[in-house]
Amino acid sequence: MSGCLPYAVIGAGPAGLAAATVAARAGVEVTVFDEQPSPGGQIFRAIEQVPAARAGVLGTDYRCGAGLVSDFRASGARYFPDSTVWSVDATRELGVLRAGKASLLQAERILITGGAMERPVPFPGWTLPGVMNAGAGQILLKSAGLVPADGVVLAGTGPLLLLLAWQYVQAGVTVKALLDVTPWRNWLKALPKLPAALLARHYIVSGLGYQRDLHRAGVREIHGVSGLQAVGEEQLTAVRFRHRGKSRTIETGLLLTHFGLLPHTQLTRDAGCAHDWDDRQVCWRPRVDDWGNSSVPGIGVAGDNAAIGGARAAGHAGRLAAFETLRALGWIDTAERDRRAAADRQWLAADLRIRPFLETLYRPSPDTLDVEEDATIVCRCEEITAGEIRRALREGHPEVNQVKYLTRCGMGPCQGRQCGPALAHILAAAQGRPVDAVGAFRIRPPVRPITLAQLAALDTAADGG
């Protein structure tokens, strides 16, 4: 692979697949870099290899990804799996690691569609073996058909938790309990937004169907939970929590947690894109216009990487970004772009009507995000506790990058992905300031770990074949 890439797409989830398919069908030379071994992203992981029985367990929303991947395969876009993009800069230069070889490549247009990550929320015992993110459990189910053999407790908030519980029930797994930390007041706040949400009724219907099936299967759903703790010495043995003023304990060797999603922002920050604090989604996200254009010319962002909207919305956003790319590259004019994009624009607006309701209902409480116990580890890589962070604040370091410098919080292999959000919430709560006022980690390349040997052998015109 040499020369300037006309259109580079980073990520092969719904947004990346949709964008690449539209652009490639129009005749643009499209190159897609994907960390996964096959297209589909997290939501449609292993969709080409999954057996029919497992696909049935995963549900209709998962199976609809097969058509998206099939269309992409037939589009003529060049696809490079097992490829890590470790750098993007404002000149549209990409750092790519593939087959152990690091390369620097130039692109005329870039679309970043890296999707989302689960919101990391530290709580007592969350580093114990036996405590995992719900997304990790879903990955094992999709990619290998692995499910808990001795039952599981699910805890947290958000639609993914309900979906995973339903999928496990379909797979014959004993779900010992679903512990919902959604505050009761959120239900009252969300009710006025329900009428608009009903216009995206397929989500409501699916959610009610999942709850009906869980009720029939005898799954305990305990709402209004607080004070979540994982209990154990060398490994998880139980989950402890508060409910209606009383402490309760459930014995389990596996706890899967989920507290919502955040856009991946490492690459967009690395590229110098402007970011805004989204108080509705309680996260930072890249600033983009209606076509996915970021503040950096030639760099677009689409799907959950731009704002959390789900797989269907991501597909529409990816196609809109592709139509804009066709215009920017001179393949179509503005009027033709608008005409081709009209249907996706309409469907995207309809699909996003559910978001205000979901974002209000599943907004995590300050008590969940503030990490109350000083002994709780916040930075797993460097083993920095909430108490050490508060001590740094008392010593006169009120901003996240100051605390990072002083404590090494955020300097481990995950490069702050797992501790940055929690650090910001701790500092903001302790100072009575908005979360965006305490800043976010500065990002420098490489945004993914690569070795010094790979950097030393850096190729500026590598063969991507």
- What digits encode the pLDDT tens for the residues 174-209? 999 999 999 999 999 999 999 999 988 889 999 999
- CATH architecture assigned to 4-117+262-332: 3-Layer(bba) Sandwich (3.50)
Q: Domain extents for the chain?
A: 4-117+262-332, 120-259, 370-438
Confidence at residue 337, expressed as pLDDT on a 0 to 100 scale? 98
- What digits encode the pLDDT tens for the residues 36-59? 999 999 999 999 999 999 999 999
Kindly state the DSSP code that residue 126 receives in the 8-state scheme: T
Confidence at residue 1, expressed as pLDDT on a 0 to 100 scale? 59
In this prediction, what percent of the chain has a pLDDT beyond 90? Answer: 95
Confidence at residue 181, expressed as pLDDT on a 0 to 100 scale? 96
Confidence at residue 463, expressed as pLDDT on a 0 to 100 scale? 44
Q: 464 falls in which pLDDT band (50, 70, 90)?
A: very low
Cβ atoms of 198 and 208 within 8 Å: the answer is no
**Is the model's pLDDT at 462 over the cut of 50?**
no
* Residue that is written with structure tokens 């697949």 in the block: 17
Distances (CA, A) of 62 to 163, 303, 309: 11, 17, 16
Averaged pLDDT, 400-408: 96
* Residue that is written with structure tokens 């009710």 in the block: 191
Minimal CA–CA distance to 320: which of 67, 113, 104?
113
Residue 86 CA to residue 88 CA, distance in Å, equals: 7
In this prediction, what percent of the chain has a pLDDT beyond 70? Answer: 98
**Is the model's pLDDT at 292 over the cut of 60?**
yes
How many C-beta atoms surround the C-beta of residue 245 within 10 A?
6
| Residues whose CB is less than 8 angstroms from the CB of residue 62 and which lie 6 or more positions away in sequence, other chains included | 43, 44, 47, 55, 142
How many C-beta atoms surround the C-beta of residue 234 within 10 A?
8
Mean pLDDT, all residues of the chain:
95
Kindly report the CATH class assigned to 370-438.
Answer: mainly alpha
Confidence at residue 258, expressed as pLDDT on a 0 to 100 scale? 98
Averaged pLDDT, 400-417: 94
Confidence at residue 2, expressed as pLDDT on a 0 to 100 scale? 59
Q: 465 falls in which pLDDT band (50, 70, 90)?
A: very low
DSSP characters over 131-189 = EEEHHHHHHHHHHH----SS-EEEEE-SHHHHHHHHHHHHTT--EEEEEE---HHHHHH
Angle at 304 between CA 299 and CA 306, to 5 degrees: 40
- What digits encode the pLDDT tens for the residues 219-273? 999 999 999 999 999 999 999 999 999 999 999 999 999 999 999 999 999 999 9
Domains 4-117+262-332 and 370-438 share a fold: no
**Is the model's pLDDT at 409 over the cut of 70?**
yes
Query: For 120-259, CATH number?
Result: 3.50.50.60
Residue 79 CA to residue 418 CA, distance in Å, equals: 29
